[in-house]
Amino acid sequence: MATDTKNVPNDVLTTDAVRGASVQPGMAERTAVSDVAATEVIPVLREELKVSKREVETGRVVVHKTVSERDENVEMLLRRTDVSVERVPVGRTVTEAPASREEGDVLIIPVMEEVLVVEKRLVLKEELHIRKTTTERTAHEVVRLRTESVKIEPTGSVSVSGDSSKES
């Protein structure tokens, strides 16, 4: 038979209620108040857990970084193209405009002009002869290059993967 302890205070149970005696609702409470000498008081305890965390420094790492510079000679080939334009007078009448053309390393571009005569004629006034020449030269420059090196010094219980004493 289960004991009904709904009306019993949370912190006090009578021995009658603990032993399983038949207790009417509200009776244990009256017994605890009126007959204090005849009952035993058993405290009911409850433990509570509080969990927290905190940061604990277990070690440090000191990183030394240095930058070194060195001069490096660089040699490169530079190209330059110069163009010269020569005007060649022609003064010849043509029926239609000639196309631009190349003869060897010379580009020839016709320049047209209309001349008023009793009739209109197409006259080749001049041609532009454009010659390209290419020269090459070697340029010397001094270029400064930088190199970084790092040294790691662990302290405490810090682990560093790789060789921490070697400069990289």
pLDDT tens readout for residues 27-50: 444 444 455 556 888 888 888 888
Do 80 and 24 lie in one domain? The reply is no
CA 70 to chain centre: 30
pLDDT band at 163 (very low <50, low <70, confident <90, very high): low
Q: Is residue 51 part of a domain?
A: no
| Host H or E run for residue 34 | helix 27-34
Q: Is residue 167 part of a domain?
A: no
Range of the domain at 143: 60-154
Do 145 and 114 lie in one domain? The reply is yes
The pLDDT of 122-137, averaged and rounded, is 90
Do 38 and 113 lie in one domain? The reply is no
According to the model, what pLDDT value does residue 156 have? 76
According to the model, what pLDDT value does residue 18 have? 46
pLDDT over 80 (residue 80)? yes
Do 140 and 96 lie in one domain? The reply is yes
pLDDT over 80 (residue 7)? no
Give the strands of the sheet with 120-156, arranged side by side: 59-94, 120-156, 106-116, 101-103
Report the candidate in 6, 18, 71, 7 with the shortest Cα–Cα distance to residue 42: 18
Q: Is residue 103 part of a domain?
A: yes
Q: Is residue 19 part of a domain?
A: yes
Do 105 and 128 lie in one domain? The reply is yes
Do 19 and 75 lie in one domain? The reply is no
Do 99 and 24 lie in one domain? The reply is no
User: Percent of the chain having pLDDT more than 90?
Assistant: 26
Q: Is residue 52 part of a domain?
A: no
Do 85 and 143 lie in one domain? The reply is yes
pLDDT band at 17 (very low <50, low <70, confident <90, very high): very low
Do 115 and 69 lie in one domain? The reply is yes
Query: What CA–CA distance (Å, rounded) separates 108 from 99?
Result: 9
